[in-house]
Amino acid sequence: MLSMPSHTPSPQGDSRQTPVLLISMPFGLLDYPSLALGLLQGSLQPLQIPTSTLYFTFKFAEMVGSIFYQQIAKGRPMIQDFIGEWIFSAALFAENSETEAYIRNVVYGDMECHNTIYKTGKGITEDFIQDILAARAKTELFLSECVEEILQHNPAIVGFTSVFQQHVASLALAKRIKARSPETCIMMGGANCEGIMGVELIKQFSFVDVVVSGEGDQIFPDLVKRILAGQSISHLQGVYTRRNVQLLTAGKSIMNTPSIRNLDALPFPLFDDFFEQLSRTSIRQTITPGITFETSRGCWWGEKHHCTFCGLNGSTMTYRSKTAQRAMEELLYLTNSYPDCAISVVDNILDMKYFKDFIPSLAALPGNLRLYYEVKANLRKEQVKSLREAGILMIQPGIESLSNHVLDLMRKGVKGLQNIQLLKWCKEYEVDVTWNLLCGFPGEDPAEYRHMGEILPLLTHLRPPSGIAPIRLDRFSPNYDEAKEHGFYNVRAYPSYQYIYPFSPEIINNLAYFFIYDYADERDVASYTLPIAQFMVMWHQQHRKSQLFFLDYQEYLMIWDLRPVATEALVILTGLQRSLYIFCDTIRNHHHLQQFVTEHATPEEEGKPFEEFLEPLIQKGLMLQDGHSYLSLAVQRRRESERLTQPAVKQLQA
């Protein structure tokens, strides 16, 4: 049982009391409040339990500089280096003598797994190294100031959210709070505390009283009431204490908290503390704040087919979404409460039912919303148009390959041609796309990458991927859970963890989320993907001046080709060839095309196979054929809204 803390005045003599403090530590993002903490704070409001959220992210960014801070917070140069965690490790554990080894092996990337797959280096400068070391030297002062501020509130409960690189800083502060105020209940939750990671956390760090594994929304109010009343909490599902964690038997599944089923029952998140503290920070002019917005949880595709590389925990995969009315009410609340802020939707995937209600409602709103959503790549053209009209101007559609074979290994449920089709339609409707290529799946055929290398030069008019990278093994992914079956062996935590935690490999493996591996077939992924990586560099350079679009004048169609691979700058199509090209703006198969020819051919064109019309366009790189499927590559433009980039205009004039 956890006892109720005595609420004596703090050492500073301040009589204020905030029973519950919620903490966001470095390296949480500076420009967005924590949605998790905003929801938890909102859940206590009906209970009239005074609660505050402290964003110590701002304090540390002031100390180390906001530019450097944001680099680390956004996982640069590589998230698996855990630079933010290492910066605080000496404040949690005794200073070790491996600083030079960490900098050399991990940050510079002398260890192969901490470098790029092509060993091109990470662009690390000596100034960046000095910034890391300077930040590490400031952690003690920072943590001391945080402790003093917390003790002024005389809290009964201090709760930490821990995602990405917030873990070690949170533990270092928790350790100091417990030393100064032993009766304060230290609670931790978040992605870093899920499953075995949370269980190992409470085993190794005696100053942590409670770990919540899974969604905290339903259980948090009851948990707080019980702790404040001095009641037992060890029987609560998904809540781990030193008492009940000893009862877990080897091989027994670790239960998460019950997931909330009705998302409409969630409170509106409270972000007032974030904006109030932002207004007082000396670095506020360097921060453009946004707000996070949630309309669903889980993944409707992953429920049926868990993508092999996806690290979403299966116990929270069940898809749930808010009703359109509730989603709109919350959006209006957020935009009215926190005006002029960019809105980032944190859903794993867009609810397709929203195309019937929520998205049309967004389109009807006055003003210019700029929303970001994750979607599945099998959208129809009218749906992309609807996204644009609704102000959803950036999407992440999970385009991880253009190879059908590799996509099947991922269990993505789409074809490469569908991914290209979506890129084309997004270009037409000016919806920005974030995507990347993943490689290194056991069983993938290197010939697929040679074929991809033939296709990519035809796509330089479309948004390029951010890069190409080998898959990482994330905890909870099928690749991790069934590593041997998927062709991985010798799975172990990234080496960076050993420079952070002075524990045995077994304990580190339990605390880790990111893992490295060897291939059962000893494949050399870099050797067959290097040409793709090299072409991507050129793609980024060529993209702004590369254009492929068509204008339709009813009787004839003009295709302007300003790509580096163009064989003709202007191609004019008439008759059935024109009609077929427009028809193939959407992927069409043999049956569709033959039927179209039968219905639309003139007497002079009757009897001719559709291949006779399309093959010349394929040879010119204006269309793609994948088996029995065909897709036009030129982006449709309307004459009245025609816009070209300046480099493209110069090419036309030339």
Do 308 and 175 share a domain, yes or no? no
> 560 near 646, Cβ under 8 Å?
no
How far is 137 from 152, CA to CA, in rounded Å?
25
Is there a domain that residue 616 lies in? yes
* Statement to judge: residues 333 and 394 lie in one domain: yes
Last residue within a domain, chosen from 400, 435, 470: 435
Query: Looking at per-residue confidence, does 97 or 136 come out higher?
Result: 136
Q: Which residue has the higher pLDDT, 305 or 315?
A: 305
Tell me: do 204 and 320 sit in the same domain. Answer: no
Query: Has residue 631 got a pLDDT over 70?
Result: yes
Question: Among candidates 166, 201, 190, which has minimal Cα distance to 85?
Answer: 166
50 and 186 assigned to the same domain: yes
One domain, residues 243 and 299: no
Specify the higher pLDDT residue, 630 or 652.
630
pLDDT in tens, 31-63: 999 999 999 999 999 999 999 999 999 999 999
Whether residue 260 sits in one domain with residue 325: no
Report pLDDT digits (tens) over 433-451.
999 999 999 999 999 999 9
Element (H, E) at 588: strand 588-589
CA separation for the pair 120, 473 (Å, rounded): 22
Domain interval for residue 197: 1-60+154-268
Within 128-216, strands assigned E span 157-161, 185-189, 210-212
598 falls within a domain: yes
Residue written as tokens 């085993």? 203
- Separation between Cα atoms, residue 155 and residue 153, nearest integer Å: 5
433: helix, strand or coil? strand
Sign of the Cα pseudo-torsion (130, 133, 136, 142, in order): negative
Q: Quote the pLDDT of residue 1.
A: 41
Domain presence at residue 103: no
Domain of 416, CATH number, reads 3.20.20.70
H-run or E-run covering 20: strand 20-24
Q: Are residues 615 and 648 in the same domain?
A: yes
Q: Read off the amino acid at residue 30.
A: L
Q: How many domains does the chain have?
A: 3
Which DSSP string do the residues of 43-87 spell out, in sequence order? HHGGGT--EEEEEHHHHHHHHH-HHHHHHHHTT-S-GGG-HHHHH
What is the pLDDT, as a whole number, of residue 2?
A: 44
Q: Give residue-wise pLDDT tens across range 146-168.
A: 999 999 999 999 999 999 999 99
Report pLDDT for 647: 52
- The rounded percent of the chain whose pLDDT value lies above 70 is 94
Residue 469 falls inside a structural domain: no
Report pLDDT digits (tens) over 314-361.
778 999 999 999 999 999 999 999 998 989 999 999 999 999 999 999
Q: Average pLDDT for residues 228-257, to the nearest whole number? A: 88
Assigned domain for 416 exists? yes
pLDDT at 640: 45
Instruction: Decide if 143 is inside a domain.
Output: no
Q: What is the pLDDT of residues 182-227, one digit of tens each?
A: 999 999 999 999 999 999 999 999 999 999 999 999 999 999 999 9
